[in-house]
Chain A
Amino acid sequence: MTAAIKTLDELLTSPTETNRSLSTEEYFLNMGPQHPIAHGSLKLVLLMDGETVRKVIPVPGFVHRGIEKMCEHLGYRQIIHLTDRMDYLSALMNNWAVSKTVEKAAGIETNGRIETIRTIMAELQRLQSHVLWWGVLGMDLGAFTAFMYAFRDREIIGEIFEETIGARLTMNYIQPGGLMYDILPDFVSKVKKLIAYLKPIIEEYDTLLSGNVITQERLRNIGILKAEKAIGLGCTGPVLRGSGIPYDLRKLEPYGAYDKVDFDVVIGTKGDCWDRYYVRIEEMRQSLKIIEQLIDNIPEGPHSVAKINYKIVLPEGTYYGQIETARGVLGVFIVSDGKNETPYRMHFRSPSFNNLWTVTQIVPGWRIADLIAIQSSLDLVIPDIDR
């Protein structure tokens, strides 16, 4: 068996095979690492033919921090504090993914209160993430109003987080064995007020941007991702659901309090940018519905079932746990040697890493302006790709 190692330079300097007599000369265009639509540091090298994209070469790694290597030196409760730096818009769900895997491996049983609060927090986070995505998509398409609206409303959800957790963005709240702090007495009334405020706001979003003729023209029938292709490309979350596959871990393998609530899994029909857009709009409504059902029924009990200074040593073996974040399936793979408090190996299957590569498959043939819409509809978080 042999394998040839390549470099990016070789790829960019090797002659391309095209020789179309009437076409313009093809050239490479560096999009990024600093580009407004990347929302972070992601470089896309585009092979262009006039304004048409022929080939996309994503070059990630500008925010690679070696989180997996760091995890090999930290205990499981310390690892929680690294996870929120991966997908910072799903920080609490990242916390939960590690906690869920560790709890299952160590056999820690939590109570109803913990699971209900975790579910409410995760759904608030999903709402916040989708609200931000909606505003940013508007901005990418040239509608700056959407961006201002989204930031106004995102702030209101952020205030609830700040009061409960103490942070606005990189939140650490869910840990193996429970929650770090209990909710405040006025948490319930504040969340209820938020729901009452957000319900008409989501409808406003819908009328403001969805019905707009420019948005429709820019999103409909653009960047079609067929279901079969999406599965082969490892897509999850709204990207896969937009292609018509009802794959949602909240429904398929319910965790937390998701088996106690009634909600729908939203799917698209075609797999174009519009489907991915509308799946997220509808998911915001479903999130509100889930929170509404749970907020009045938080059971009594302690907020943590573990002692303050406990050690977690997992039995020897491999463990794989996953959770549905705002972007898709976050998988946590832990290898324990059964002796140490630290994992022997820890790996994160991040949703953005797997969703990113769709751009190489669906963008070629479209104009550069469509690339903006397609990338925006994928909703990538760059630190989640690089880890």
Chain B
Amino acid sequence: MDRENLEKSVITLEPKAHSRGKADRAAVEVPAENLQNLMRQLSQNDRFSFDMLLDHTAIDRIGEGKFELVYNLYSTEHAHYLMVSCLIDRGKPIVPTVSSIWPIAHWQEREVFDLFGVLYDGHTDLRRIFLDDDWKGYPLRKDYSDPDMLEFEK
């Protein structure tokens, strides 16, 4: 499916989703409460069969007080890509996990938790992945500061 068709069919699948725009591929935005339902359908529906979660990461939209969670999906059957994004409140960063759909999400979500402090509801092993368990703060947040951090001159 080409970009427009793919976006349209995803939106018919989940009416709460809408086109994200400002991306170089088909991209939809979905509210956090509908995320798991949409993802399950995307992986199981034969028209999409997104069987691979290529990448999951987050963007700190500090100006808007939001975290944007980004999921890059790929289908080995149809060879198409889709970006699913989900905006959540920066003060209460919690979303449902998708690790029950794609096992690799288990560890990709742990990375996002480690570096952004996003919590995943239903994750069975939410631990820091790179940093020590007693590390304070989440380094990839835009307001993170560390006494040992080198400040770049602008």
Are A3 and B25 interface neighbours, CB within 8 A? Answer: no
How many angstroms between the C-alpha atoms of A382 and B107 in the bound complex? 16
Is there an interface contact between A231 and B76, defined as CB atoms closer than 8 Å?
yes
Known contacts A1-B121, A357-B107: A331-B94 contact under CB 8 Å? no
Contacts of A329 in B (CB 8 A): 54
Bound form: Cα–Cα A214–B107 in Å: 35
Distance, CA A333 to CA B54, complexed state (A): 11
Question: How would residues 100 to 138 of chain B score, 1 for a CB under 8 Å from any chain A CB and 0 otherwise?
Answer: 001110111001010100011111011111110100000
Interfacial chain A residues near B70, Cβ < 8 Å: 318, 333
Write out the residue numbers on chain B whose beta carbons fall within 8 Å of the beta carbon of A39.
none
The 0/1 profile, CB within 8 Å of B marked 1, for residues 228-261 of chain A is 0101111000000000010100001000000000
Find chain B residues with CB under 8 A from A69 CB: 139-140
Q: A9's closest neighbor in chain B, by CB?
A: B133
Asked whether A349 lies within 8 Å of B54 as measured between CB atoms, the reply is yes
Q: Which residues of B contact A8 (CB under 8 A)?
A: 127, 133
Beyond contacts A1-B94, A7-B127, A234-B108: 4 other A-B pairs, Cβ-Cβ < 8 A, are A5-B126, A73-B152, A231-B76, A320-B72
Inter-chain CA distance A229–B96, complex, in Å, is 22
Interface centre among B51, B54, B55, B96 (most CB of A within 10 A): B55
Kindly report which residue of chain A lies nearest to residue B113, judged by CB atoms. A5
Residue in chain B with minimal CB distance to A59:
B129
- Chain A residues within 8 Å of B22, by CB: 316-318
Q: Decide: A61 and B131 in contact? CB cutoff 8 A.
A: yes
Kindly state whether residue A105 has any CB partner on chain B within 8 Å: yes
A sample of 18 cross-chain residue pairs with beta-carbon separation below 8 angstroms, ordered by A number, consists of A1-B95, A5-B126, A6-B125, A8-B133, A61-B128, A64-B130, A68-B140, A69-B140, A233-B103, A234-B104, A317-B22, A318-B70, A320-B81, A329-B54, A333-B70, A344-B59, A349-B54, A361-B103
In angstroms, Cα B115 to Cα A353, docked, is 15
**Closest Cβ of chain B: how far from A20's Cβ, in Å?**
24
Query: In whole angstroms, what is the CA distance A357 to B25 when docked?
Result: 28
Indicate if A60 sits at the interface (CB-CB under 8 A).
yes
When chains A and B are docked, how far (Å) is the Cα of A2 from the Cα of B115? 19
Is residue A335 within 8 Å, beta carbon to beta carbon, of the partner chain?
A: yes
Tell me if A320 and B24 are in contact (CB < 8 A). yes
Taking A320-B25, A331-B72 as contacts, is the C-beta distance between A3 and B120 under 8 angstroms? Answer: yes
Q: CA A349 – CA B54 in complex, angstroms?
A: 8
Bound-state CA distance A322–B83 (Å) is: 14
Q: When the two chains form their complex, are residues B102 and A345 in contact, meaning their CB atoms are under 8 A apart?
A: no
Whole-angstrom CA separation of A2 from B54 in the bound complex: 26
What separation, in Å, do the CA atoms of A255 and B36 have in the docked complex?
A: 34
CB distance from B88 to the nearest CB of A (A): 10
Contact across chains for A320 and B83 when beta carbons are under 8 A apart: yes
- Complex: how many Å from CA A7 to CA B128? 7
Q: Is the CB of A232 within 8 A of B54?
A: no
- Docked Cα-Cα span, A7 to B106, in Å, equals 15
Cβ contacts under 8 Å, A245 to chain B:
76
**Nearest A residue (CB) for B152:** A73
How many A residues touch B, CB cutoff 8 Å? 47
Query: For residue A66, which residues in chain B have a CB less than 8 angstroms away from its CB?
Result: 139
**A205: Cβ under 8 A from any B Cβ:** no
Contacts of A275 in B (CB 8 A): none
Binary contact readout A65-95 vs B (1 if CB under 8 angstroms, 0 otherwise): 0101100010000000000000000000000
Closest B residue, CB atoms, query A5: B126
Q: For residues 51 through 71 of chain B, which have their beta carbon under 8 Å from a beta carbon of chain A?
A: 51-55, 57, 59-60, 70
The reply to whether A386 and B130 contact each other, CB–CB distance below 8 Å, is yes
Contact with B along A1-32 (1 / 0, CB 8 A): 11111111101000000000000000000000
| Chain A residue, CB-CB nearest to B130 | A61
Contact call B119/A3, Cβ cutoff below 8 A: yes
With A234-B104, A357-B104 as contacts: A2 and B127 at CB distance below 8 Å: no
Q: Contacts A6-B126, A104-B24, A333-B57: A234 and B94 contacting too (C-beta < 8 A)?
A: no
Task: Return B99 CB to nearest CB of chain A, in Å.
Answer: 10
Is there an interface contact between A231 and B51, defined as CB atoms closer than 8 Å? Answer: yes
> Within A345-368, which residues are at the interface with B (CB < 8 Å)?
345, 347, 349, 353-354, 356-357, 361
Asked, given contacts A3-B120, A317-B22, whether A252 binds B54 with beta carbons under 8 Å apart, the answer is no
Q: How far is the CA of A214 from the CA of B22 in the complex (A)?
A: 55
Smallest CB-CB separation from B33: which chain A residue?
A1
Q: Does A278 contact B (CB under 8 A)?
A: no
| Residues 290-328 of chain A, each 1 if its beta carbon lies under 8 Å from chain B, else 0 | 000000000000000000000000001111101000000
Q: Are B83 and A233 in contact (CB under 8 A)?
A: no
**Distance to closest chain A CB from B106 (angstroms):** 7
